[in-house]
């Protein structure tokens, strides 16, 4: 866990400060979710790390007691143990109706069986039934396609998901880790056929990974899908635990110590780059100015991005969860947020820069006049 910055400067008051008990509609749906969603990939030790059932229950209770209501898992997480732990907890606590429960299909749970993975109707139906058993519930609130398999026709995917909604086994559907064009095609077909539409997209998004701002975020805003970022701390790089020379902060022998190394010889060159270290430098400066940890600032920044409804956080300890939840306790002043925006900015490329509003091409379209989609006051801003 990143340490608090030593600065004593207090965050100025802001009307934008929210709490975990502030709820928002998930996309163009009636589903109310908390601004932070608890990811449960750490529930279970089948992958050689993670939490015991008792520890997982403690994290779940702490999240719900703080006002959170959105829990995200997947059939594949810890080989089904994550779903099993959540199911036992909900049965014991008798709080199923209070929880917005999301899980996923796609990844193969039966090696050697090609139909036990992917996004075909057979896999979707089998995966849903198995998840319902492990979760000990009769309905999944949000059923995610875990990722694009590159093969299954989108018509088959949306038809199968619609059948689950009509059968009462699933309430809402969403896509994770997909090309924007595929999500757009799926939504168009669903609208045309009168099938259950997508209400959300789960995508990697952080200060160091802003690629979805090119197409996914504009599509989400246009089509009414809520964006739920995963890995908002950039695979750990934005937690403050790692340095340019690859040293991991904290005592040796701890869970995070040495597990990731972000130096020039790192196995993760996508994360270990000069650009990313410059983002970390800017993040550290802003965190020190606010008297907050880098993790808190990075999480706060992502929760305020256009299109974002609920950000997925993970925690292996109660202390880590508490710090992540505190990311909602303050607001980043505009001038400091601008520094983070500038340090992490990406090039949009063609055609987005070619068609930029106010650019030469848009001036030719408008014939030299000033054209806007709406008056400035149209949306009440």
**What's the residue count for the chain?**
381
| CA 145 to the chain's CA centroid | 14
**What's the sign of the alpha-carbon dihedral 203, 305, 207, 182?**
positive
- Using alpha carbons, select from 67, 63, 106 the residue that is nearest to residue 86: 63
Q: Residue 171 is inside which H or E element, if any?
A: strand 170-176
DSSP characters over 329-369 = S----HHHHHHHHHHH-----TTTTTT-TTSHHHHHHHTTS
Which structure tokens are listed for 312? 């997925």
Please report, for residues 22, 32, 95, 210, 305, the alpha-carbon distance to residue 25 in angstroms, rounded to integers and kept in the order given. Answer: 11, 5, 21, 23, 16
| Residue 77 annotated to the active site | yes
- Using alpha carbons, select from 365, 213, 224, 217 the residue that is nearest to residue 357: 365
Which structure tokens are listed for 114? 């090609």
Strand order in the sheet with 100-105: 226-230, 198-204, 170-176, 140-145, 100-105, 70-72, 36-39, 311-313
- Confirm if 198 and 225 have CB atoms less than 8 A apart: yes
Which structure tokens are listed for 164? 């689950």
- Confirm if 188 and 180 have CB atoms less than 8 A apart: no
Active-site hit among 23, 24, 77, 172: 77
Q: Residue 313 is inside which H or E element, if any?
A: strand 311-313
Which structure tokens are listed for 273? 């780059």
Tell me how crowded residue 10 is: count the other CB atoms within 10 A of its CB. Answer: 9
Tell me how crowded residue 160 is: count the other CB atoms within 10 A of its CB. Answer: 22
| CA 353 to the chain's CA centroid | 27
Please give the positions annotated as active site: 77
């Amino acid at each position: 866990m990143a340490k608090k910055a030593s600065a004593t400067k207090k965050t100025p008051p802001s009307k934008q400060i929210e709490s975990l008990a502030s709820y928002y509609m998930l996309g163009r749906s009636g589903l109310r979710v908390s601004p932070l969603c608890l990811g449960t990939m750490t529930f279970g030790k089948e992958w050689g790390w993670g939490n015991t059932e008792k520890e997982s229950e403690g994290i779940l209770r702490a999240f719900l007691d703080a006002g959170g209501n959105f829990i995200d898992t997947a059939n594949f997480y810890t080989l089904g143990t994550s779903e099993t732990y959540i199911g036992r907890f909900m049965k014991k606590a008798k709080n199923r109706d209070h929880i917005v429960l999301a899980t996923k299909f796609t990844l193969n749970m039966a090696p050697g069986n090609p139909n036990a993975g992917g996004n075909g109707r057979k896999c979707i139906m089998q995966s849903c039934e198995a998840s319902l058993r492990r979760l000990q519930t009769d309905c999944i609130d949000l059923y995610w396609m875990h990722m694009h398999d590159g093969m299954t026709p989108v018509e088959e995917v949306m038809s199968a998901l619609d059948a689950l909604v009509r059968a009462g086994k699933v309430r809402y559907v969403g896509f994770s880790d997909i090309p924007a064009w595929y999500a757009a095609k799926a939504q168009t077909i669903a609208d045309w056929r009168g099938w259950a539409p997508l209400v959300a997209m789960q995508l990697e998004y952080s200060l160091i990974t802003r690629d979805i701002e090119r197409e996914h975020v504009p599509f989400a805003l246009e089509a009414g899908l809520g964006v739920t970022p995963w890995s908002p701390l950039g695979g750990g790089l934005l937690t403050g635990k790692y340095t340019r020379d690859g040293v991991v902060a904290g005592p040796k022998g701890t869970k995070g110590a040495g597990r990731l190394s972000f130096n020039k010889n790192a196995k993760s060159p996508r994360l270990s780059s000069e650009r990313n270290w410059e983002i970390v430098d800017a993040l550290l400066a802003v965190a020190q100015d606010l008297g907050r940890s880098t993790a808190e600032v990075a999480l706060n920044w992502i929760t305020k991005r256009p299109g974002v409804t609920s950000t997925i956080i993970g925690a292996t300890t109660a202390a880590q969860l508490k710090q992540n939840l505190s990311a909602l306790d303050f607001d980043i002043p505009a001038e400091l947020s601008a520094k983070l925006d500038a340090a992490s900015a990406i090039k949009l490329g063609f055609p987005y820069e070619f068609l930029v509003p106010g650019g030469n091409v848009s001036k030719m379209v408008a014939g030299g006049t000033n054209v806007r989609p709406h008056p400035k006051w149209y949306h009440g801003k």
